[in-house]
């Protein structure tokens, strides 16, 4: 059985993939467009997140325009993978991590205020885990728009 969504939930998922209002109270602007109140929009977004239908609400910044970031990877012994992944995830600036089927098996993205802070974060990860971090900075960027029109059956 599919996920059941009401009309407002469907509109939020479709209409705000792009163009989230850049203002002090973006949810109030969304509420006005949806003909509901700000608290209702915030509650709706929290509910969608709790149900696993969205993972986050917020801006996506173009890499290297604000701060510094890198893709990083580690070769983690399989018996330590969960422990190391939890350690890495707990470090501020680590956006997410994931396992890959390869001897270099833990991959993650790190962001920081600048290159110096980024290098310090990678060094902290190495110190905390005792494992080498492979730093894979972006050389060329490609924009992939992950927003798409949703259709409802």
**pLDDT digit string, tens, across residues 78-105:** 999 999 999 999 998 898 889 999 999 9
Clarify whether residues 109 and 75 are in a common domain.
yes
Q: What pLDDT shows up at residue 139? A: 77
Please provide the distance, in angstroms rounded to a whole number, between the alpha carbons at the two ends of the chain: 12
Q: What pLDDT shows up at residue 74? A: 98
Q: What pLDDT shows up at residue 152? A: 67
Place of tokens 């479709």: 14
- Assigned domain for 60 exists: no
Return the H-helix or E-strand segment holding 58. none
- Assigned domain for 35 exists: yes
| pTM metric for this prediction | 0.62
Reduced to 3 states (helix: H, G, I; strand: E, B; else coil), residue 96 is strand
Clarify whether residues 44 and 74 are in a common domain.
no
CA distance 89 to 26: 28
- Assigned domain for 13 exists: yes
- Assigned domain for 146 exists: no
Sheet holding 134-136, edge to edge: 94-99, 106-112, 68-74, 134-136
Residue ranges for the chain with pLDDT beneath 50: none
* Spatial CB neighbours of 27, under 8 Å, sequence gap ≥ 6: 38, 41, 42, 45
- Assigned domain for 43 exists: yes
pLDDT in tens, 106-117: 999 999 999 999
CA distance 94 to 123: 13
Clarify whether residues 83 and 128 are in a common domain.
yes
Q: What angle do CA 113, 114, 116 make, to 5 degrees?
A: 120
Q: What pLDDT shows up at residue 52? A: 85
- Assigned domain for 91 exists: yes
Q: What pLDDT shows up at residue 18? A: 80
Q: What pLDDT shows up at residue 97? A: 87
- Assigned domain for 30 exists: yes
For the record, the structure tokens of 114 come out as 């600048």
- Assigned domain for 102 exists: yes
* 10-15, long-range: CB < 8 A, 24+ apart: 10/150, 10/152, 12/41, 12/44, 12/45, 12/48, 13/48, 13/53, 13/54, 13/150, 14/149, 14/150
Q: Which domain, by its residues, includes 11?
A: 7-50
Name the DSSP letter for residue 78.
Answer: G
How many domains does one find in the chain? Answer: 2
For the record, the structure tokens of 107 come out as 């991959």
């Amino acid at each position: 059985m599919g996920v059941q969504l009401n009309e407002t939930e469907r509109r939020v998922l479709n209409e705000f993939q792009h163009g989230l209002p850049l203002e002090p109270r973006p949810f109030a602007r969304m509420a006005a467009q949806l003909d509901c109140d700000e608290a209702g929009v915030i509650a709706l977004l929290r509910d969608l997140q709790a149900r696993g239908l969205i993972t986050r609400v917020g801006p996506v910044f173009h890499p290297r325009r604000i701060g510094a970031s890198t893709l990083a990877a580690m070769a983690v012994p399989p018996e330590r993978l969960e422990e190391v992944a939890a350690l890495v995830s707990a470090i501020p600036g680590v956006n997410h991590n994931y396992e890959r089927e390869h001897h270099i098996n833990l991959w993650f993205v790190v962001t920081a205020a600048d290159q110096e802070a980024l290098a310090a974060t990678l060094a902290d990860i190495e110190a905390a885990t005792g494992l080498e971090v492979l730093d894979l900075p972006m050389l060329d960027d490609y924009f992939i728009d992950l927003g798409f029109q949703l259709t409802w059956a």
